[in-house]
A and B are shown apart, each in its own frame.
Chain A
Amino acid sequence: MSTQSKIDELIGCGNANAVNFAKQAAELKTLVESQAISRAEYEELVSDLKRIKSIAESSDDLAIKSAVHEVLIGLENTALALL
């Protein structure tokens, strides 16, 4: 399967993050093919896509941890109120 068909498949998958990722990848491919960016710039920007994905994953982890923390504090306060 070619890179372009993989990008098309991702765009059609319906997952917002995957669609966004695929659209950015498609834009970079167009830019390097039209020589608007150099090959070295293209490679770095593709690496950035992975870093942005990694930031999104860490931010999801942090958001869940914060939510769990709030629940634990709520449970703790409820327990203290019952004592």
Chain B
Amino acid sequence: MKKIALISLVLLLNGCALIDAYRMARFDNIEYALVNQIHTQAQLGVVSCGTDLVYSQVDDIYFKTVELRNYSASIPRNEETVAMTNDLYDITKGLKDRYASDEEVSQKYCEIKFNNIENSTGTMKKVIGAKPR
């Protein structure tokens, strides 16, 4: 039933959409590994909120997010992943900027930011991991 629905969808799509799908960027080990690293770091790093360890965690997550964004942007026909990495970059940049400022950072803000990064990369992992081989 699912196959019939998919084939129907294929027949409804226009030529450009079909060519885009046919030529789309394939699964990439490095891209997936970077997303997984950021996901894991956010998952484990949340306990550092409110301690001095949080600064290094935030720096590491930010560095890896920039690395992911740069890497994904260099892969041709990778528009959806690039869009996701840009949004993820904006989320982590906000966290980094706040810890770099003189203002006090609340415990709850820190926890929510780490959760946002974990949830976003969790969403990304599912679809990036399912790209065609």
| A residues in contact (CB < 8 Å) with B | 28, 31, 36-38, 40-41, 44-45, 47-48, 51-52, 54-56, 58-59, 61-73, 75
In the complex with contacts A31-B108, A68-B6, A73-B132, A55-B18 CB distance below 8 A: no
With A and B bound together, what is the CA distance between A38 and B21 in angstroms? 44
Name the interface size band of chain B: 35 or more
Main secondary structure of the interface of A (DSSP, over half): helix
CB pair A56–B123 under 8 Å, yes or no, is yes
In the complex with contacts A72-B22, A73-B132, A63-B109 CB distance below 8 A: no
Which residues in B have their C-beta under 8 angstroms from that of A48? 91, 94, 112-113, 116
With A and B bound together, what is the CA distance between A6 and B130 in angstroms? 36
| B residues in contact (CB < 8 Å) with A | 3, 6-7, 9-10, 13, 17-18, 20-22, 24, 80-81, 83-84, 87-88, 90-91, 94, 98, 103-106, 108-109, 112-113, 116, 119-120, 123-124, 126-128, 130-132
